[in-house]
């Protein structure tokens, strides 16, 4: 499975999504050694990075009277409101300091438009604005994507579903991810991924 036509996509392993961060995923830092070990096996690595301007429309602080994890209707649909996180240039937006992927060949920044959130590394939340990742992977000749990172039920799931929709054979490495699990969102995410033939594996399952 691991070869010249396979890319490892590492999703949003950033300080704000790890313990001590403003939108910490329980055990988020536990993915770091697993991903580092995986990364050594892949010649091709791409990373995604949440990169919000201050006052982003997905922040609860941008909506009077709203608190984190409430929802609002945006022009593109229902939006979960989050604590301020991964603000451009902040420490919270930086990759976890333990992440060791010096050979990563591209970093895709997402959510950098103030009026649109972006969970997926491929297409922003309006489902019309591409990040450029699809074109990059196709031009490089990749056929399959192996995905790891944070959080399983949001950015990993959306990235995996869009990877499959773009025609890539797609795998999510369960033990290299952690979830928020907001009101059953983890089970829903795995079901949604399965519906589009995303394969759920563990790091030990990867051959090559």
* 12, 29, 50, 162: the active-site residue: 12
**φ, ψ for residue 166, nearest 5 deg:** -80, -5
Q: For residue 69, what are the CA distances in angstroms to 72, 82, 124, 127, 193?
A: 10, 6, 19, 21, 23
* 18, 86, 155, 177: the active-site residue: 155
User: Is 155 a residue of the active site?
Assistant: yes
CA-CA-CA-CA torsion for 110, 1, 189, 164, nearest 10 degrees?
A: 60
DSSP H helices, 76-184, are: 133-140, 157-165
User: Is 66 a residue of the active site?
Assistant: no
**How many residues can be counted in the chain?**
208
* 110, 117, 153, 177: the active-site residue: 110
Residue closest to 180 by CA, chosen among 38, 85, 72: 85
User: Is 12 a residue of the active site?
Assistant: yes
Going through 13-111 in order, the beta strands assigned E by DSSP cover 45-50, 71-74, 77-80, 106-110
- Cα separation, 171 vs 157, whole angstroms: 11
Give the active site residues. Answer: 12, 110, 155
């Amino acid at each position: 499975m691991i070869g010249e036509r396979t890319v490892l996509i590492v999703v949003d392993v950033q300080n704000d999504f790890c313990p001590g961060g403003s939108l910490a995923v329980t055990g988020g830092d536990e993915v770091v050694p697993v991903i580092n070990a995986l990364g050594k096996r892949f010649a091709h690595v791409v990373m995604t990075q949440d990169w919000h301007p201050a006052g982003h429309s997905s922040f609860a602080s941008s909506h009077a009277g709203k608190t984190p994890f409430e929802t609002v209707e945006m022009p593109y649909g229902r939006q979960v409101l989050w604590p301020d996180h991964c603000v451009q240039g902040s420490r919270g937006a930086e990759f976890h300091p333990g992440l060791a992927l010096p050979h990563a060949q591209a970093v895709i920044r997402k959510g950098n438009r103030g009026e649109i959130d972006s969970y997926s590394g491929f297409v922003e939340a309006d489902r019309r604005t591409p990040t450029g990742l699809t074109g990059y992977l196709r031009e490089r000749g990749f056929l399959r994507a192996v995905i790891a990172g944070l959080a399983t039920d949001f950015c990993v799931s959306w990235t995996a579903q869009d990877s499959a929709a773009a025609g890539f054979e797609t795998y999510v490495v369960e033990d290299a991810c952690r979830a928020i699990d907001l009101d059953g969102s983890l089970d829903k995410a795995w079901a949604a991924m399965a519906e589009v033939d995303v394969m759920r594996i563990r790091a030990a399952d990867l051959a090559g």
